[in-house]
Amino acid sequence: MSSPDTHSPDTPAVETVKVWDPLLRLFHWALAAAVVLAWGLGHFGPDIMTLHFYAGYVVLGLLAFRLIWALVGPAPARFSNFVYGPRDILGYAAEAWRRKPSYWRGHNPLGGLFIVAILLMLMLQVVTGLVADPDDFINVGPLASYVPSWVSRKAVGLHETIGNVILGLVVLHLAAIAFYKLWKREDLIRPMLTGLKTVRRG
């Protein structure tokens, strides 16, 4: 699906195309809900963290799907489409402040860097949660008995620290969405709802 050209000498030729597939969009919103739920239960939930663990298992399953989809899914979802080298990332960052839409087909280099960062942090968060042992004999990770005791004790503090890092990344993500909407006049939310994105033609 595409729209007619809407360009002038100062703007590129663009088209509206289907970029994000339904499974990727479902993954995005499900992961957001699961992470918020897990974080909220971890900080404000009951002392017995059963529901927190369940939310963590959902995050684990979603991460497994995303890694598989990054290998076999549609082109925009694959690692090859959003993992960029330092030159591309720095080059895009130098242009990102311009007050015009980027019309990037898929994730731009800064967005790709964010995806790699958040996926790594979430994987570390899940791993530390699985092996953590807070010595309360209740909220022990299901794999804590398979690692040395010093590892399971260290995992408790790391789990909390990584949780704060993830919170910071979420805030950064929301700030980036607002920046693109208000400054660059580019809506990043609608494409993740409909799958349709206005991109540079060709």
The better pLDDT of the pair 47, 2 is held by 47
Per residue in 152-177, pLDDT (tens digit) is: 999 999 999 999 999 999 999 999 99
Tokens of 161: 């620290």
Angle between helices 149-182 and 22-44 (to 10 degrees): 120
Q: Examine the pLDDT at 202 and tell me if it is beyond 80.
A: no
Q: 24-53: buried (b, 16+ CB within 10 Å) or exposed (e) per residue?
A: beebeeebeebbebbbebbeebeeebeebb
Q: Per DSSP, what are the bridge partners of residue 15?
A: 199
Residues 25, 175: Cα–Cα separation, whole Å:
20
Token code pair at residue 98: 């311009």
Kindly list the domain boundaries of the chain, sorted by start residue.
14-200
**Fold exhibited by the domain 14-200:** Fumarate Reductase Cytochrome B subunit (1.20.950)
Higher-confidence residue: 21 or 135?
A: 21
Quick: pLDDT tens for 87-97: 999 999 999 99
